Amino acid sequence: MLPLASAIQFYLEGEFVTVTMEQTITDELKRAELKKKTEEELRKMRENCQKWGVSIEIRNIREYIAQGGLSLADIGTSEEELQNCFKAGHINAAKTWLKMAKERCESQDVSTEIGHIRSLIAEANVILADVGTSEEELEKLLAAYKPIKGWWRRLFPGRNGKYQGSGCCSLHPKV
């Protein structure tokens, strides 16, 4: 039986490099740990793209494969799958924002929700029809909210149901 060498020496780019067995084992353990983390992120990406955007998971996958010297094939995926999940996640997130805008449009301003829809569509490089809406519908949702005049007086009626003014500043003098 041959004794195991505790170090390996080889010639690399004009100089001798010595690698100990401990370094090799540590590197392999680190690589295995990164592969496990990458596979977990891949599982989360596949699961979550049915509900919302997965940009964070995709970024983590790319970081872990770079750190571990892995390829997408090593973890059982491809660039095409990452792109498809990215688009699907953004489309599903936009659908969620659209649903919220439809539910809230008559009681509050939905410009934030519409802004999220538009930015998700642009980021995923898809069209509004992919989300199940159109520019006309978004404009209708934005126009649906009509603030009720005199809301301040209804919140702070004062004596006898009439607004007396808060007296906090010159805009709200006490009457």
Mean pLDDT of all residues in 6-28:
64
Mean pLDDT of all residues in 138-153:
76
Judged against a pLDDT cut of 70, whether residue 6 lies above it is answered with no
| 85 in Cβ contact with 61 (< 8 Å) | no
Six-digit token string for 173:
């003098």
Judged against a pLDDT cut of 70, whether residue 170 lies above it is answered with no
Mean pLDDT of all residues in 80-90:
93
Interior/surface letters 19-56, b for 16+ CB within 10 angstroms, e for the rest? eeeeeeeeeeeeeeebbebbbebbeebeebbeebbbee
Mean pLDDT of all residues in 31-37:
87
Judged against a pLDDT cut of 60, whether residue 172 lies above it is answered with no
* Residue 116 φ/ψ region, left for φ over 0, alpha for ψ in the -120 to 50 degree band, beta for the rest: alpha
Mean pLDDT of all residues in 68-92:
92
pLDDT at 1: 40
Mean pLDDT of all residues in 64-79:
91
Name which of 66, 143, 145 is nearest 104 in CA terms: 145
Residue 32 — pLDDT band, cuts 50, 70, 90? confident
Judged against a pLDDT cut of 60, whether residue 29 lies above it is answered with yes
pLDDT at 11: 59
